[in-house]
């Protein structure tokens, strides 16, 4: 059975995605930094499903290692899912260049570096899927988190171009734009319950959208509408707003 490679496998969404894909018979490569801490997840999946699960040490900001990393995968993955992401406080990013740089490196440059490699291979094979977990925050820059938001905007634009390029090769590119997800990352935020989704539900949403061959997934769906409205507020009004 085919392999799915999950990049950034330590996130809450990745954990649930790994379970969903394993449940549906896919073998897994779980890639992350300090990957030892993934042992519990591997054990969990092996009790749940009879699939092969392998842990791979991978650092998304060590661009120069990416080719070797990909070459070292014995069976090339049918699907690649990127859930890696870094979110620092906007105010901190404004003051500390390191945090801004890390945001751009993790959320954009690092992902592009590995996906360039992956997509060349998939294009050649005329088969496969790529899922990028971006964010609604990339749909419009807001003062509350535009450093993070702009890195996600760049990522979303990359995915849209990639989808365009790979269309002929029948490689699916799915852009996922989550709104609020109930994860470690958001635990201190006061999230409105109706707009918030649990990691296990988002994972199922993503799996279903991928299986159906979708291009863009807002999850929860209500965010498509919210972002449609936010995108259409004229700039001369938007700049005065605090949202």
Q: Is residue 24 a contact residue for another protein (CB under 8 A)?
A: no
Nearer to another protein, 12 or 205 (CB): 12
Instruction: Give the separation between CA 69 and CA 198, rounded to whole angstroms.
Output: 31
- At its nearest, how many Å lie between another protein and the CB of residue 10? 9
Q: Show the binding pattern over residues 179-198: x = contacts another protein (CB under 8 A), - = does not.
A: ---x-x--x-xxxxx--x--
User: What's the sign of the alpha-carbon dihedral 64, 68, 69, 75?
Assistant: positive
Q: Show the binding pattern over residues 95-124: x = contacts another protein (CB under 8 A), - = does not.
A: ------------------------------
- At its nearest, how many Å lie between another protein and the CB of residue 206? 18
Q: Are 118 and 130 in contact (CB under 8 A)?
A: yes
166: phi then psi, degrees, rounded to nearest 5: -90, 0
Instruction: Give the separation between CA 6 and CA 28, rounded to whole angstroms.
Output: 8
Nearer to another protein, 124 or 184 (CB): 184
Q: Is residue 243 a contact residue for another protein (CB under 8 A)?
A: no
Please, which residues bridge with residue 197 across strands?
181
Nearer to another protein, 65 or 196 (CB): 196
Nearer to another protein, 8 or 199 (CB): 199
Q: Show the binding pattern over residues 32-61: x = contacts another protein (CB under 8 A), - = does not.
A: --------xx-xx--xx-------------
User: What's the sign of the alpha-carbon dihedral 123, 207, 6, 132?
Assistant: positive
Q: Is residue 208 a contact residue for another protein (CB under 8 A)?
A: no
- At its nearest, how many Å lie between another protein and the CB of residue 18? 12
Instruction: Give the separation between CA 25 and CA 170, rounded to whole angstroms.
Output: 22
Q: What share of the chain is helix, strand, coil (3-state, %, to 5)?
A: 55, 15, 30
Instruction: Give the separation between CA 135 and CA 118, rounded to whole angstroms.
Output: 21
Question: Could you list the residues that contact another protein (CB under 8 A)?
Answer: 12, 40-41, 43-44, 47-48, 182, 184, 187, 189-193, 196, 199
């Amino acid at each position: 059975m085919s392999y799915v490679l999950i990049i950034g496998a330590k996130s809450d969404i990745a954990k649930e995605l790994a379970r969903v894909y394993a449940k549906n018979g896919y073998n897994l490569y779980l890639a992350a930094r300090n990957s030892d801490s993934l042992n519990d997840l591997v054990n969990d999946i092996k009790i749940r499903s009879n699939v092969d699960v392998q842990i791979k040490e991978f650092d998304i900001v060590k661009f120069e290692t990416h080719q070797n990393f990909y070459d070292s995968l014995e069976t090339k993955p049918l699907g690649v899912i990127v859930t890696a992401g870094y979110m620092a406080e906007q105010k901190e990013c404004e003051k500390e260049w390191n945090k801004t740089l890390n945001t751009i490196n993790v959320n954009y440059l690092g992902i592009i570096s590995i996906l360039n490699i992956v997509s060349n291979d998939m294009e050649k094979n005329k088969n496969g899927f790529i899922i990028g977990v971006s964010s609604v925050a990339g749909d419009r820059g807001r003062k509350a988190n535009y450093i993070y938001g702009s890195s996600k905007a760049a990522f979303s634009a990359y995915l849209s171009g990639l989808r365009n390029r790979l269309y002929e090769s029948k490689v699916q590119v799915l852009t996922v734009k989550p709104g609020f997800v109930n994860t470690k990352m958001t635990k201190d935020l006061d999230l409105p319950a109706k707009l918030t989704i649990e990691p296990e539900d988002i994972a199922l949403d993503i799996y279903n959208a991928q299986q159906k061959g979708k291009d863009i997934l807002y999850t929860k769906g209500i965010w498509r509408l919210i972002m449609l409205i936010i995108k259409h507020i004229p700039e001369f009004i938007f700049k005065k707003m605090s949202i």
